[in-house]
Amino acid sequence: MTIFHKPAHAFHLTGMTVVHAVPRASCPWNTYKRKTGQDARATASPRGKIPFMLGQGTPNPAPLPEVFLEVVDPRGDHREVAVTQSPFLIGRGTDGGNHLQLDDKRISRSCAALVHTNGEFRLEDRGQRLGIFVNQEKISAKTLSDGDIISFGATGTIQLIFHRSRTEHALPMILSRLEHAATLEAGSRDLRQLSLLLEATSLLQSQMPLEEILAAMVDRAITITDADRGLLLEGSILTQLRPVFARQRGALPLKTESVGPSQTAIAHAIARRTSVVEGDVALAEEAIRNAVSVVGQQLRAVIAIPLLSRASLDFAAPHAEAAGGELLGVLYLDSRRPAAFSGLERQILDALAHEAASILDNTRLVKKDRERQRLEREISIARDIQQALLPKTFGRLPHVQVTAVNQPCLEVGGDYFDLIELPGRRTAFMIADVAGKGLGAALVTALLQGTFSALTLGQEPGRVITHINYFLCSRPDVGRPATLFFGILDYDGKLEYSNAGHPLPLLVRNSRVQGVFPAESCPLGMFEEEKFKTSFSTLEAGDTLVLFTDGITDAVSPELVRFGNERLQFVVEQNTGATLEDLQAAILAAVGEFTRGAPQADDITLLLLRFLGAGPTEALVS
């Protein structure tokens, strides 16, 4: 069956296509305009005076774009006023020629003005003593966008909503029309409710505050089903559902704790991912019919509709089953009177719930995005702090030249290096690699740095590492082993070191490269009883130590081939005569060419030291 009314707006339902609209002469909106005197070209005075019509009086050479202010008073009454000139003055009473007169003593006589400039409308504060606010932000002047909410610095006072087109979706009007629809004959009632569904979905997609939208949705569901009360629950699983709003007939609020919903009906709706609509529980399945909440409250009609993210409703199905999607909540309604629902009414109810789910889903995504942005800001701060804790310069060291670089693969990383000058012209240095990446590894590196700084004075490397290992093992929840190379270099070349499972450093001596100072113990944080010993060696003038983390050697090409120790040693051999800065640049460039733009899989750290000898030669400072 196809029913045509022009102008047309199509809406498809089972077995029937309704092209929804009515002739101009019988359109309810046109009837409403004839009764009230409102028109797209007119503005009604708040006191009901004859509207001023554009085209009367002095002609306006530059007509304004059609915009409206929706006036919402504390009682919830809505009316619309067209903005017909610029500046459009807003204030209390008629003093100063106000075009929009607001009856509230907290609003100044000369309050605000809308000014049209370059195709935009700018709201200006013209003396409101409590301030002008747009979307809860105090302003002196602001260009308005569609849906912006204007308030006047006090609670429980009038609010204005800026619209670029006329809206007829004020909540009280829709509810009153829904109540009227419930009294119509079945055929007229179906078409009427279909019309109201179209308006309801527009309201759900409006820029009203979320709380008002959700409360309005529950009110409309109560009116459509003729239920006694309704409850909106939010949550992703049955045991975590949280009541958000409770409403009762007549669009009245209800305390959520006073509503004891049928957990059986809700559980069935969630488990089956489809609506449970029982117009008469006496005819329902036994589990619902004998449920304690149903029997104890003498309920005769029970409805539970799951609200699913990105749910795809099949309107051709009798119960509009939802395909997939994450559970966002449940819309629950009940009554002590039995009810009968037509197939169309069920589809309208499911469509309304589907639109509400979209709102909840969008809100959830916005919250997640805001949380993501907050975490990104905090991680960025953590990165800045971590990088600031790493040495940037190494002072003027008389016997050693140093350069280093740290490149985390994420915002923060688990690699760490440090260098500290000790009494007696001794230099302590360390490079470490904590298992894992990200914030957890970064926290352990901060711990290592603090411990290293506190324990190096007067301590040999083996004892320092043993103490750090005991500290980590005594806190098993940390669960982050770490490899570490710790050395102390004297001005005469004597080197004390301890290697806790760290990759073999490279020693450049007389243009030859060799691996030196192998690991003699396991990484830190694995065995509490492990004792780390101190080893000794001697560097000659001109010797260079290349210390690195496995982010260098484990770098992977697009063909999944490791960079490896051999390639690293080859690059160093090709640059034995280079400055430390050039050697560092050559190693990083070789890794970059090898990976050819593949994402960095691990943190990369290089620490290069060149012993200058025990003479008075001044070191070059990198």
CA angle 282, 283, 289 (to 5 degrees): 50
What confidence tens digit (pLDDT) does each residue in 561-592 have?
999 999 999 999 999 999 999 999 999 999 99
Predicted confidence (pLDDT) at residue 87 exceeds the cutoff of 90: yes
Amino acid at 539: L
| Distance (Å, whole) CA 336 – CA 416 | 69
- Name the pLDDT band for 44 (thresholds 50, 70, 90): very low
Neighbours of 47 (CB within 10 A): 8
What confidence tens digit (pLDDT) does each residue in 27-37 have?
443 443 444 44
Neighbours of 322 (CB within 10 A): 27
Predicted confidence (pLDDT) at residue 454 exceeds the cutoff of 70: no
Residue of 88, 42, 86 whose CA lies nearest to 61:
86
CATH 3.60.40.10 domain locations along the chain: 393-611
Q: Are 420 and 456 in contact (CB under 8 A)?
A: yes
Residue of 140, 89, 139 whose CA lies nearest to 114:
89
592 in helix, strand or coil? Answer: helix
CATH number of the 41-163 domain: 2.60.200.20
| Distance (Å, whole) CA 208 – CA 76 | 13
CATH 3.30.450.40 domain locations along the chain: 175-367
Which residue has 């019309």 as its token pair?
Answer: 195
396 burial type by CB count under 10 A (0-12 exposed, 13-18 middle, 19+ buried): exposed
pLDDT, residue 615, reads 60
Q: Tokens representing 237?
A: 């699983």
Predicted confidence (pLDDT) at residue 10 exceeds the cutoff of 70: no
- Name the pLDDT band for 191 (thresholds 50, 70, 90): very low
| Distance (Å, whole) CA 576 – CA 419 | 23
User: Which of 181-190, 236-245, 527-536, 548-557 shows the lowest mean pLDDT across its residues?
Assistant: 181-190
What confidence tens digit (pLDDT) does each residue in 526-546 have?
998 888 989 999 999 999 999
In terms of CATH architecture, what is 175-367?
Answer: 2-Layer Sandwich (3.30)
The chain-wide mean pLDDT, for the chain, equals: 78
Contacts of 266 (CB under 8 A, 6+ apart): 233, 238, 241, 276, 304, 330, 332
96 in helix, strand or coil? Answer: coil
> What are the CB-based long-range contacts (under 8 Å, 24+) for 58-65?
60/85, 64/116, 65/116, 65/119, 65/164
Q: Are 612 and 399 in contact (CB under 8 A)?
A: yes
What confidence tens digit (pLDDT) does each residue in 406-436 have?
998 887 778 889 888 888 888 999 998 988 7
CA angle 199, 201, 204 (to 5 degrees): 115
What confidence tens digit (pLDDT) does each residue in 115-136 have?
999 889 999 999 999 999 998 7
Amino acid at 448: L
- Name the pLDDT band for 223 (thresholds 50, 70, 90): confident
What confidence tens digit (pLDDT) does each residue in 486-495 have?
999 999 999 9
Q: Between 343-389 and 186-204, two packed helices, what is the crossing angle to 10 degrees?
A: 10
> What average pLDDT does this structure show over 17-38?
40
Pairing state between β 512-515 and 604-611: unpaired
CATH 2.60.200.20 domain locations along the chain: 41-163
* Yes or no: domain 393-611 corresponds to CATH 3.60.40.10: yes
- The alpha-helical segments, DSSP class H, found in 431-489 are 439-455, 461-473
What DSSP character marks residue 297? T
Q: What is the DSSP string of 205-264?
A: TSSS-HHHHHHHHHHHHHHHHT-SEEEEEE-SSGGG-EEEEEEETTTEE--GGG----HH
Q: How far apart are the first and last CA of the chain?
A: 85
> What average pLDDT does this structure show over 344-361?
77
Amino acid at 561: V
595 burial type by CB count under 10 A (0-12 exposed, 13-18 middle, 19+ buried): middle
515 in helix, strand or coil? Answer: strand
| Distance (Å, whole) CA 304 – CA 262 | 9
Q: Are 353 and 331 in contact (CB under 8 A)?
A: yes
Phi and psi torsions of 454, nearest 5°: -80, -25
| Distance (Å, whole) CA 110 – CA 167 | 27
- The alpha-helical segments, DSSP class H, found in 290-342 are 292-296
pLDDT, residue 576, reads 93
Predicted confidence (pLDDT) at residue 13 exceeds the cutoff of 70: no
| Distance (Å, whole) CA 159 – CA 148 | 10
